[in-house]
Amino acid sequence: MNELAAASPTVTAALGLVLAWLLVGGLGLVRPNKTGWIAHVLFPLGAVIALGVAAIGTTTWLPAFVTQQMVLPLGLPDLPFHVRLDALSGFFLVLLGVAGTGISIFSAGYFRAGEGTAPGLLCLQYHVFLASMAMVTLADDAYLFMVAWETMALSSYFLVTTQHRLPEIRRAGFLYLLMAHVGALGILLCFGVLHGGSWSMTFDAMRAGTLTPFWMSMAFLLALFGFGAKAGLVPLHVWLPEAHPAAPSPVSAMMSGLMLKTAIYGLLRVGLDVLPIGPWWWGTLTLALGLGTALYGVVFAAVQTDMKRLLAYSSIENIGLIMAGIGLVLICRCFDMHVLAALALAAVLIHSFNHALFKSLLFLATGSVMHATGERSLGKLGGLIRRMPWVAAFALVGALAIAGLPPLNGFISEWLLLQAFLQTPHIPHAFLNMIVPLGAAVVSLAAALAGYVMVKFYGVIFLGQHRENTLVTAHDASGLERIGLAWLALVCILIGAFPQIALDAVGHVTQLLVGAAAQRGPSWWWITPVATHQVSYSGLWFWMGLLVVTGVTFIFVRRFYRGRVRRTAAWDCGYPWQTPRMQDSAEGFGQPIRHLFGPIFKIERELPRPSDAAPRYRIQIDDRVWLACYQPLGRVLQRVTENLAVLQGGRLAVYLLYSFLTLIVLLVCVL
């Protein structure tokens, strides 16, 4: 073990940090009810470890770095654990570390009373969750990968059901755990196909194996199903809108910002690293599912009235964009278009990183709002920019970033993905030449609708007047919460200002997976992903221009109009009784989308009665996929289990008979 550790110092350091996370979590059980000890000592320690994980991952981008592997003295006698640190796993460690740092700092100020679970146990679950996600990225064999994957699922389940005394929380947790294990079954079957009868579970053995085209496709489809269930690919998305509202906000941030990216990592590892180049329909299927998921998610986000469900559907939309990019990578790799594949893969990786940042930022901001107001419904919020200016400022950064507006980081990845789609007419395939460029239109539509959703999200929560009298007592975020939010917002701004650094950083990953890197710009402040004479962008110059225009406008107004502007009430349209109820509501804001995409939704309306003293219009929007697929399937399974329950008669003799018959059947089958 010492020789192996000496040969792989970076891997050893990464494993040491994972063990440190577990140790910090275990320390929470030493004084399980001391919230000050847990919040102000252990969670900041977890943040420091997350920074170390990010630093370890960053070393994989150094030009002199060589992929490092190690065999651990753990596991089964003939099936030890293997770990590997290369450019791909290093990138996702950086993602985990950078976003995990902000979430951990925020959690130190958020988990004041344990949120329904004993604080010490919550601390253990939280850090086990972080450690298991790190081990998923480091695993180099199917055995360790599945152990880490199941640990991640179980620890996140307990975090989702933190307020386990509430029946709806338990139901949401059960649905999440069920879908997690359905996806895990697909991944396990995928690895079973990949080992090809060699009984070696290492990824190196799977890369060296030979499979027929049929079994290659089966392995890919199983991977797409398994990782798609964890990522929230439609129609396997039903757990996201239920689990995110149930979980505490920092847990929602980790699940949406970090855990979903482990599914992206797994699909990249299997589809682009372990499996050889497949047929073009692999990419076409992934592309179609991704684009459909993106549109489905953003349309449902536009009509939500619960701010956490809105962000959950927004995560589905962003996962759809990432999956569409992966599909484009698979298509380009099939036709040996390595530079275009590298561009699409760079967009996928950068958008994964960006989504981890701004979605975590938004979920944490909603957590601060919920702590301050006790409300999650958009219909009961409003005007919080006056009471919570810090949270409003950081939430604005996240909203602009997720809307894909320059000069923030969300624009960079969506712009790169759009540039990749615009180059697809060069694909030497007539059908794909006709179909794939339409993906650019779908990406543009999804981005436009995402901006619409964020106007609704930010405007209804922070702008306007208070919709409830209780909001006047709302308070801003605590100091630690502000630091966590500021960390995530700052990284969003830096990536937007210096996109070339991000593009260079993922170049090592694209070189590993597709054998090429996206084109560099003429300087470190310009990116030209296709060609210098076609498209280019500079986030730094955009920021400078924005600051100059803002500064000049400020000076001009102060110089020429200060003291000359008469302030008066806004025009009331001839109706002087302006009340908070006259503001545009969340339901009203989403009405155009409900009208345009009406067949997608299952809508139930409750109209006000004439006798109501304060009439209110209510609307309930349900997911047709859930109603058409999962509810009937649940009823069928319920009937089957009720019929099978008669086998449990409670008599020992009957159970012995079952065992005897099973033994006879096994002997007959084996012999």
What value, to the nearest 5°, has the Cα angle with vertex 497 and ends 513 and 391?
A: 105
Question: 322 and 417, same structural domain?
Answer: yes
Distances (CA, A) of 421 to 425, 494, 530, 637: 9, 26, 11, 43
- Rounded to whole angstroms, the Cα distance separating 10 from 33 reads 36
In this prediction the pTM is: 0.90
How sure is the predictor about 345, in pLDDT bands with cuts at 50, 70 and 90?
Answer: very high
Q: Are 615 and 608 contacting, i.e. CB atoms less than 8 angstroms apart? A: yes
Of the listed ranges 314-328, 342-356, 650-664, the least confidently predicted one is: 650-664
Classify the C-alpha dihedral 102-458-262-494 as positive or negative. Answer: negative
- Rounded to whole angstroms, the Cα distance separating 384 from 580 reads 13
Mean pLDDT within 170-180: 88
How sure is the predictor about 612, in pLDDT bands with cuts at 50, 70 and 90?
Answer: low
- Rounded to whole angstroms, the Cα distance separating 620 from 622 reads 7
CA torsion, ordered 399, 401, 402, 403, to nearest 10 deg: 80
What percent of the chain is predicted at pLDDT more than 70?
93
Phi and psi angles of residue 84, each rounded to the nearest 5 degrees, phi first: -150, 135
Residue 358 lies in a domain: yes
Residue 135 lies in a domain: no
Q: Are 523 and 501 contacting, i.e. CB atoms less than 8 angstroms apart? A: no
Residue 431 lies in a domain: yes
Residue 349 lies in a domain: yes
- Rounded to whole angstroms, the Cα distance separating 317 from 296 reads 7
* Residue 231: strand pairing partners: none
Q: Is the pLDDT of residue 394 over 60?
A: yes
Q: Is the pLDDT of residue 467 over 70?
A: yes
- Rounded to whole angstroms, the Cα distance separating 315 from 326 reads 16
Q: Are 82 and 141 contacting, i.e. CB atoms less than 8 angstroms apart? A: yes
Residue 34 lies in a domain: no
For residues 105 and 8, which has the higher predicted lDDT (pLDDT)?
A: 105
What value, to the nearest 5°, has the Cα angle with vertex 602 and ends 597 and 607?
A: 100
Type of residue at 81 = F
Name the residue with tokens 């943040």.
Answer: 47
Q: Is the pLDDT of residue 1 over 50?
A: no
Pairing of strands 618-623, 601-606: antiparallel
Question: 497 and 604, same structural domain?
Answer: no
pLDDT at 120: 83
Question: 602 and 510, same structural domain?
Answer: no
Mean pLDDT within 592-600: 79
Structure token pair of residue 575: 């109706």
Question: 543 and 452, same structural domain?
Answer: yes
Tally the residues of the chain. 671
Q: Is the pLDDT of residue 41 over 50?
A: yes
Q: Are 105 and 487 contacting, i.e. CB atoms less than 8 angstroms apart? A: yes
pLDDT at 3: 37
- Rounded to whole angstroms, the Cα distance separating 160 from 121 reads 13
Question: 604 and 545, same structural domain?
Answer: no
pLDDT at 616: 67
Q: Are 290 and 446 contacting, i.e. CB atoms less than 8 angstroms apart? A: no
- Rounded to whole angstroms, the Cα distance separating 127 from 471 reads 34
Structure token pair of residue 265: 């990592």
- Rounded to whole angstroms, the Cα distance separating 509 from 7 reads 23
Question: 499 and 601, same structural domain?
Answer: no
Residue 262 lies in a domain: no
Phi and psi angles of residue 388, each rounded to the nearest 5 degrees, phi first: -130, 65
Q: Which domain holds residue 390?
A: 290-558
Instruction: Decide: helix, strand or coil at residue 141.
Output: strand
Question: 321 and 382, same structural domain?
Answer: yes
The model's pLDDT over 527-545, given as tens digits with 9 standing for 90+, comes to: 777 666 667 777 787 788 8
CB neighbours of residue 98 within 10 Å: 22
Distance of CA 123 to the CA centre of its chain: 22
- Rounded to whole angstroms, the Cα distance separating 160 from 142 reads 26
Mean pLDDT within 259-284: 91
pLDDT at 324: 93
pLDDT at 186: 92
Type of residue at 371 = H
Structure token pair of residue 492: 């969003």
Which residue intervals of 38-86 are DSSP H helices? Answer: 43-59
Instruction: Decide: helix, strand or coil at residue 623.
Output: strand
pLDDT at 6: 42
Mean pLDDT within 335-355: 91
Instruction: Decide: helix, strand or coil at residue 618.
Output: strand
Type of residue at 310 = L
Structure token pair of residue 180: 């997690």
- Rounded to whole angstroms, the Cα distance separating 474 from 549 reads 34
Total domain count for the chain?
2
CA torsion, ordered 445, 447, 451, 452, to nearest 10 deg: 30
Distances (CA, A) of 445 to 273, 284, 399: 32, 19, 17
Question: 404 and 306, same structural domain?
Answer: yes
- Rounded to whole angstroms, the Cα distance separating 378 from 459 reads 10
- Rounded to whole angstroms, the Cα distance separating 412 from 434 reads 26
pLDDT at 533: 62
Q: Is the pLDDT of residue 479 over 80?
A: yes
Question: 662 and 530, same structural domain?
Answer: no
Which residue intervals of 195-212 are DSSP H helices? Answer: 203-208
Q: Are 224 and 284 contacting, i.e. CB atoms less than 8 angstroms apart? A: no
pLDDT at 4: 40
Question: 624 and 496, same structural domain?
Answer: no
Question: 650 and 518, same structural domain?
Answer: no
Residue 534 lies in a domain: yes
Q: Is the pLDDT of residue 490 over 90?
A: yes
- Rounded to whole angstroms, the Cα distance separating 172 from 156 reads 12
Structure token pair of residue 234: 């439609």
- Rounded to whole angstroms, the Cα distance separating 168 from 259 reads 22
* Residue 150: strand pairing partners: none
- Rounded to whole angstroms, the Cα distance separating 279 from 273 reads 15
Instruction: From 485, 400, 394, 495, select the one nearest 450 (Cα to Cα).
Output: 400
- Rounded to whole angstroms, the Cα distance separating 559 from 124 reads 58
Question: 601 and 484, same structural domain?
Answer: no
pLDDT at 555: 83
What value, to the nearest 5°, has the Cα angle with vertex 443 and ends 439 and 449?
A: 145
CB neighbours of residue 78 within 10 Å: 7
* Residue 306: strand pairing partners: 377
pLDDT at 102: 93
Name the residue with tokens 């001009």.
Answer: 556
pLDDT at 363: 93
Q: Is the pLDDT of residue 451 over 70?
A: yes
Residue 545 lies in a domain: yes
Structure token pair of residue 631: 């509810």
- Rounded to whole angstroms, the Cα distance separating 101 from 105 reads 6
The model's pLDDT over 81-127, given as tens digits with 9 standing for 90+, comes to: 889 998 899 999 999 999 999 999 998 888 765 556 778 888 899 99
Mean pLDDT within 502-523: 81
